[in-house]
Amino acid sequence: MLITGIKSKPVYAPLCADVTGRHHLMLGVGLGGAALLRVVAELETAAPAALATTRVLLAAEDTFERTGIASLARFDDQAPLLEAFTTALEGSLMGTRLYVAGPESFIGRAMQIALRFNLNKDEIRAEECGTLARRVRCVHCRTTTEEVRTNIVRCAGCDRWLLVRDHYSRRLAAYMGVMVDAEAPGELPPIREIYL
Amino acid sequence: MSALFKPDETFRDDFTFRNSPAAIRRFPLPFAEDQYMYSVNIEPHLPGPRGSVLEFGFDVDEHYVAECRERNLVLAAEPLRFQALPHMMSAQWDCLELLMESLARDYPAHFSLTRQGNRWHWINRPLGIDQHFTFGDPATLPREPLDYIGRQAQGDFVVMDQREGDLWTEAGVVTTQADWSLDFDVGMTFKEWHGPVPLAHEMNVFDRALKYLLALRLGQPVRRLNWTMTINPRLDTSPENYPYWGPDRTRVTARNAGELVHLRVEMQTLWRLPRSNGVMFGIRCYLISVAELATVPHWARRMHRVLKDLHPALVDYKGLTRYRDAVVEWLAPFDDGTPTSPGTAPE
Amino acid sequence: MNEAQTIAVEVTAVEQVTPLIRHFTLKAAAGGALPAFSGGSHIIVVMRGAARIHRNPYSLLSSPHALDTYEIGVRRMEESRGGSQFMHDSVTVGSRLDIAHPVNLFPLDKIARKHVLIAGGIGITPFLAQLEDLHGGAVPYELHYSVRSPEHSAFLGRLQEREGGHVHLYYDSAGQAIDFDGLLSRQPLGTHVYVCGPAGLIERVIGTAKTWGWPASHVHWEQFSAPPVGDAFDVFLARAQCTVHVAPDRSLLESIEAAGVEVPYLCRGGVCGFCQTRVLELDGELQHNDHFLSDREKAGGRTIMPCVSRARCKTLVLDL
């Protein structure tokens, strides 16, 4: 079961402005503010008219200078930001581009919401920054364990030791966890903190 | 009729499943040569020789009744082995129609389907089912269409929606899988779902397969074979239940390998669906113990050679690591080095 | 496609619905229901004329829920190579034709939150079938239908009767035009737009959608254009070991088929990529008329879509 090199792990890239879009909606958490500032700066140069309908939702400590954008809303926490995001999508039009910058677990949650509005990969850009900690879904008891930094983790639901695989579900916004010692109970591979 | 089926066979606990000599001879061996590597081995699903597993679109064999009972057991314990996203309802009806039409046409002694417009009457004699319903109206069936017919057919069924130049896994009844989770994979695209398969991506196998499947036509299904190995004739080797079947892998010795280790072959068929324009993926599972397989001399030699030289990544991915050597050792006496003719026939 | 897999049909009704458009109703010659299909599908109709065989794609406009008959609408094309003329002049009630199983290259997106349908002239046909699937459903939709004049509006009666407020009609003759900018700038997220009709209409919608930032995956189009005519040329088929002459008004695909060699196809219109063929040798230039190959592939000269493309050459050898 120790499979490596899985191709279903999501891949992220540094954010850059998509000038083919007419409206831009941006979400930033933690260290994500810097990436969004960069995108706004790019739009200022390449497509300044788009700034007038650019909206930013931020749960970060960065100072974010308002630079002619339509709105900037700040939140203390991910949860209220995601709520505001849902409302924003309800009023959004075709031609919108979504930018998400923050830890992967946040990106996953934002994608789940975007999925409901039929936004696809051509309309979304995501940059991972901050912790690599994963959400892990136990395939046995279906509990999701949050903030997993190690390659092996104890399931928060059924207590089994799970191997944290690279196989990722966008629908569940989580990586798969499978019992690691079924064939040799108690024999665990070395536990390493690799998702820092 | 009941002499044909072995209704009390089990695929768990006491594992009373066995293949009759006839079942052994018609077994779909996946090795045409003495070594194995992936390929896009898709071919038209045309009718094959009489009595073979390819004679009809959906094969019904001596294990039919027992397999249907096993499926009901799995679904009773884990309802999420059947899933269908809301927009897949017309695809579910397409699947129901395809299976009912095929079974009634190809096995008229066991199944019959009579229709007057949308009023359908389905009879399944081996399972004792007699159902009147209105095609297209879910309220007239005791379960959702795919769930309903899935419990009356051997093998798993995965249904994909075709859009944005891709195939999306968005419905299925999956209880006889080789270690993948429908609940986890529902919503994935073709390549995401196949993400865990090693090597094949580098070989562009999935790009080519996807392109081929996007052009799949009504009335022209295709098929391919896939294989792995299972300890005991266990159909439900899902990741969900890995804690229960995983330990069996440690119980294999060179002495019991013939009896315990089973070759597990998937006859995969792919069908374009008419009303939904989706694709139905049928995964029909055949099991045979190594000992049963070895009763055919040149299959024994071939199996020995294929396993001995199998690429390490495939050994790992197919879960054979712990017991591959034991099986090779068990088969060794059957391999005297005589050349085997290419092809998969028993002779 | 294998000719052996066609279905024999008989024409049960013919109606001239506009001066240019004829409406045909077909039933299975052997009786019974025709194959079920999804809205947006087309069938290839095989017409055996005196001098040649025509294979033309026509959208199914009949309801996917009524399978006793199929219905198609055929517009008489002015510079026709004969297919539409054959349908108009030689096909009557009782005529026998062969058709292929329906193929859908223009399906509705099942998870769209809204559908905007744009039809020009004969382009209304695939939408008629799709509207049967959309009718009464939870997903909002609207149809914008542009025609020359009331005289040239086909199937309007049944449309307005069934769809009422979902249909917006535009008569060229009255100076009415679709406001593409207005339409495409104000749709909610998750809307898909579908266009079928003349090339100009399709280009306009694609271009306007792009301007307003729609990703290509939300813009769907279907165009049935006849293969362009051109100078005659010869082609050598390497595997069949024969030379095929391509007359000016025959497509490369048709000429190869007439020589008895089968080439797989789905649309015969340069869109689906199914007939893509390898070029083994070329002394001259290929004339690519398809929408499938990339610019790079077209420039590379190693591949061609025989359904719509041609060549001006001394030598052309294909891997067929």
Give me the pLDDT at residue B317, please.
82
Q: Which of A57-61, A110-114, C155-159, C269-273 has the lowest mean pLDDT?
A: C269-273
Q: Which of C189, C222, C255 is the last residue of a domain?
A: C222
Q: What is the pLDDT of residues C113-137, one digit of tens each?
A: 999 999 999 999 999 999 999 999 9
Q: How confident is the model at residue B339 (pLDDT cuts 50, 70, 90)?
A: confident
* Closest to C130 measured CA to CA, from C42, C9, C26: C42
The answer to whether residues C175 and C212 belong to one domain is yes
| Chain-chain contact of C101 with B163 (C-beta, under 8 angstroms) | no
C-alpha A84: how far from its chain's center?
A: 16
Give me the pLDDT at residue C271, please.
81
C-alpha C149: how far from its chain's center?
A: 23
* Closest to A191 measured CA to CA, from A165, A167, A168, A161: A161
Block means of pLDDT (10 residues each) for chain C, 320 residues, are 76 95 96 95 91 90 96 86 88 95 95 97 96 95 95 89 93 96 98 96 97 97 84 94 92 92 85 88 92 88 93 93
Give me the pLDDT at residue C223, please.
86
* Closest to A196 measured CA to CA, from A153, A136, A150: A150
- Chain C residues inside the 8 Å CB shell of A97: 213
Inform me whether the pLDDT recorded for A155 exceeds 70: yes
Structural Rg of chain A based on CA atoms: 19
Q: What is the pLDDT of residues B128-150, one digit of tens each?
A: 999 999 999 999 999 999 999 99
- Chain C residues inside the 8 Å CB shell of B215: 266, 272-274
- Chain C residues inside the 8 Å CB shell of A92: 188-189
Q: Which of C99, C132, C148 is the last residue of a domain?
A: C99
| Domain CATH for C213 | 3.40.50.80
C316 vs C23, C236, C304, C311, CA distance in Å? 41, 6, 11, 8
Q: Which residue of B has its CA nearest to C192?
A: B164
* β-pair type (C191-196, C114-120): parallel
Q: What is the pLDDT of residues C266-282, one digit of tens each?
A: 878 888 888 899 999 99
The answer to whether residues C242 and C272 belong to one domain is yes
Give me the pLDDT at residue B4, please.
86
Ranges for all domains in chain A classified under CATH 3.40.50.80: 23-128
Nearest Cα of chain A lies from the Cα of B59 at a distance, in angstroms, of: 31
Residues 6+ apart with CB under 8 A from C303: C276, C277, C278, C279, C293, C297
Q: Which residue of C has its CA nearest to A118?
A: C190
Task: Name which of A9, A172, A178 is nearest B239 (Cβ-Cβ).
Answer: A178
Inform me whether the pLDDT recorded for B58 exceeds 70: yes
Q: How confident is the model at residue A1 (pLDDT cuts 50, 70, 90)?
A: very low
Confidence check on the interface: ipTM exceeds 0.85, yes or no: yes
Confirm whether C109 is domain-assigned.
no
Give me the pLDDT at residue C29, please.
96
Confirm whether C292 is domain-assigned.
yes
Number of domains within chain C: 3
Mean pLDDT across B94-111? 98
Confirm whether B104 is domain-assigned.
no
- Chain A residues inside the 8 Å CB shell of B80: 142
Mean pLDDT of chain B: 93
Residues 6+ apart with CB under 8 A from B43: B222, B223, B224
Which are the catalytic amino acids of B?
224
Number of domains within chain B: 1
Q: How far apart are CA C244 and CA B79, in angstroms?
A: 60
Task: Name which of B165, B219, B276 is nearest C38 (Cβ-Cβ).
Answer: B276
Confirm whether B134 is domain-assigned.
no
Give me the pLDDT at residue A173, please.
97
* Closest to A158 measured CA to CA, from A178, A130, A187: A178
Give me the pLDDT at residue B200, please.
64
3-class secondary structure, B231: strand
Structural Rg of chain B based on CA atoms: 20
Mean pLDDT across B55-68? 97
More confident of the two residues B141 and B195: B141
What is the rounded (10 degree) CA torsion for C76, C80, C82, C86?
0
Give me the pLDDT at residue C3, please.
52
Q: How far apart are CA C182 and CA B167, in angstroms?
A: 33
Chain B residues 61-90 with a CB less than 8 Å from chain C: 87-88
Residues 6+ apart with CB under 8 A from C196: C59, C106, C118, C119, C120, C123, C124, C125, C126, C127, C202, C221, C222, C223
Give me the pLDDT at residue A7, please.
67
| Chain-chain contact of C111 with B87 (C-beta, under 8 angstroms) | yes
Give me the pLDDT at residue B1, please.
40
Domain of residue B257, residue span:
21-87+153-334
- Top mean pLDDT of A44-58, B138-152, B207-221 is at B138-152
Confirm whether B107 is domain-assigned.
no
Task: Calculate what percentage of chain C has a pLDDT beyond 90.
Answer: 76
* Closest to B221 measured CA to CA, from B267, B189, B255, B166: B267
Q: What CATH number should be reported for the domain whose range is A23-128?
A: 3.40.50.80
Q: How far apart are CA C146 and CA C170, in angstroms?
A: 5
Give me the pLDDT at residue C79, please.
66
Kindly write down the DSSP assignment for every residue of B244-294, as one continuous string. Answer: HHGGGGGG--TTTHHHHEEEEEEEEEEEE-TTT--EEEEEEEEEEEHHHHT
* Closest to B258 measured CA to CA, from B229, B298, B292: B292
Mean pLDDT across A36-49? 92
Q: How confident is the model at residue B35 (pLDDT cuts 50, 70, 90)?
A: confident
Rounded to 5, what percent of chain B is helix, strand, coil? 35, 20, 45
Nearest Cα of chain C lies from the Cα of A19 at a distance, in angstroms, of: 9
| Six-digit token string for C90 | 């030689």
Give me the pLDDT at residue C103, please.
93
Nearest Cα of chain A lies from the Cα of B198 at a distance, in angstroms, of: 7
| Chain-chain contact of C110 with B164 (C-beta, under 8 angstroms) | no
Mean pLDDT across B109-118? 96
Q: Which residue of B has its CA nearest to C102?
A: B218
Q: Is B241 an interface residue toward C (CB < 8 Å)?
A: no
Q: What is the pLDDT of residues B156-192, one digit of tens each?
A: 999 999 999 999 999 999 999 988 999 999 999 998 9
| Chain-chain contact of C274 with B215 (C-beta, under 8 angstroms) | yes
C34 vs C22, C42, C66, C318, CA distance in Å? 21, 14, 9, 37
Q: Which residue of C has its CA nearest to A98?
A: C189
Cross-sheet strand order for the sheet of C303-304: C242-246, C233-237, C310-318, C277-287, C303-304
Inform me whether the pLDDT recorded for A5 exceeds 60: no
Q: Is C204 an interface residue toward A (CB < 8 Å)?
A: no
Mean pLDDT across B40-53? 90
| Domain CATH for C75 | 2.40.30.10
Domain of residue C139, residue span:
114-222
Confirm whether C108 is domain-assigned.
no
| Biggest CA pair distance of chain C | 59
Q: Which of C191, C222, C253 is the last residue of a domain?
A: C222
Sign of the alpha-carbon dihedral angle for B106, B112, B113, B114: positive
* β-pair type (C219-222, C191-196): parallel
Confirm whether B208 is domain-assigned.
yes
Mean pLDDT across B94-112? 98
